[in-house]
Structure 1
Amino acid sequence: MIVVVTPNPALDLTWSLPALERGESHRVAAGHTRAGGKGINVARVLHALGQPVLAVAPCAVAGDGALFSDDLRTAGIPVELVPVHGALRRSVALVEEATGTATLLNERGSAWSRTEIASLVQATIARLSDARVLVVSGSLPPGTPDGFVGSLVRKARRQGVAVIADVAGPALREAAHAGADLVKPNAVELVEATGAADPADGIRRLLDDGARMVAASFGADGLCIARSEGSGFEAVSARMPQPLRGNATGAGDAAVASLARDLVDGVGDLATLARRAAGLSAAAVLASYAGEVSSTYPALISEAIVAPGIPRSRERTPA
């Protein structure tokens, strides 16, 4: 089983419109509402793939908390919800139909008390006895104490559970220092966490910190999987032959789902890890909402172009 913890979940609101014009009024069809947050998206993809998964998240006892919990249960996703006070944050996506460009408005969320954060950690650790992989994914609530992510990583690894951390900022370095099996920054997060403008330097710093593998994503340029090799590192990249037109909001979460499933299956070949992650990520771009993947993902996986090293930049003209 894979346990996925989402420290700062959200109620995702998505509207589609022909084009977004700044400063103008737009008439749109009814929006789409669902439980979200990066970890919830990962759990949705794993559930859709038939992978045993448990989503762990705090859930507001008032306001939108009922909508959040009801949506997960209606979707059939096994959940462990930790009651917290304070409002559930909202994430708004405005998706332009012509290009698939998504404009996101992400609330920061409410600050949970130390007792509530401790309850979330306890609920997560209690579920690890049946787990092979723990995924910690998404932003952290305001005021989360330093050491939250590192503590989860160390506790899980002491139980023999592999850990994937898809977090940002200092928490990313924290996860690496704690010995996470894989950390997954995007291009911006890689620079912010490490201070390195060169992706190779950033990846090297995370590996030197103690991460066993780094999966760095670069949008339409693809992704790479790297691990230490001698005094340097070995990296393999994968991307689609052409950029895809669609909503890329949940693409990184689909890649994390692919990597988590492969860790459960014991896949260690970097090329296989990269190919499958790139293909499933592409399938998320072709889906309507974050947390979904197109049924064409097997074909997309086979089409992914795999090469040694870090992806090179290319023009991002959708095809």
Structure 2
Amino acid sequence: MKKRLLAMLLAGAMCAGLTACGDKPADTQQPADPGASTDQPADNAGGNYKIDVILKTTASEYWQYVMAGAQAYDNEHDNVTVEIKGAPSETSYDEQLNMIQTDLASDYDGFVIAPLQADMVANLIKGQTKPVVACDTKIEAPEIISFVGTGNEEAGKLGGAAAAKMAKERGWEEIKAIEIAGVEGDTTNSDRMAGYKAGIESEGGTFLDDEVQYADAVADKAVAAMEGIISKFPEGIAIICANNDDMAMAAAKVAANNENYKNTVFLGFDGTMSACNAILEGRLTMSVAQMAYEMGYKSVEAVVTKLDGGEVEAFINSGADVVTPENAQQRKDTLQGYLDSVK
């Protein structure tokens, strides 16, 4: 974080005709995503902005990547100061709400918020005239200028198609798929499921809607779900797709010693470091990777673009990719770089 106050004091100690240099160091740790730039970068607009970034938590791997992206924008733009904070955990609802309420009354020029309770945050920001961007999770409120996050259905389709292709390569004649899902009724879960179904069917496979197993997005319940699947389908299933990596890895572990499931494609979602390790070690087949770094970067960029008077899209897709044994090491190295940048 730039030391603006120190820079001002040093400048004041010099003769009045001198000005401080605004150049950034050449060795910024993480480059911006090339697709994240705008036609008129904020640097050229002349405004000096202080942006508040409030995440669900700063105590998890995924949110460290989001932090790295937001910090990278700060590093690359001398006229922007980004302050990042988050709740102690993703169940610290009151702590985050108090944090947001306090910061809305402070001297920030704009806000990036990843809400733990979107409806409560919508109430807090009522009447807010400074730009507010929702990051990772939608906030249904007119004050929100943009939602920056993963296009879950599109990402799921990408993963589903890749899984079906790999299942064919592994010799499956009937490409049938069962999903171990998250929380029933959750929008993110529903979007990912719809994407998986579309992607698998685009490659001639069959998504077994009636066999969906809801496991509340936790590994323990995914274990029970997978045990049930093996009992009902002892001959094996071509694809087991899950709403997140933890559930996919848990399911794969259950089936690890079952001969009829040795060629099953286990597909997760998130593309975390642990998933990369599991793919490299053969404990998971593939994962749909969310681009959390880009999410953090583009969220701050959207606030600055609005402050500069520019147009901001209502939804900014931070992107997705499929992690496979071929690119898992590269993905792992990239993620480690993000983690190193926020230490």
- TM-score in terms of structure 1 length: 0.37
* Pair member with larger Rg: 2
Which is helix-richer, 1 or 2?
A: 2
TM-score normalised by L of structure 2:
0.35
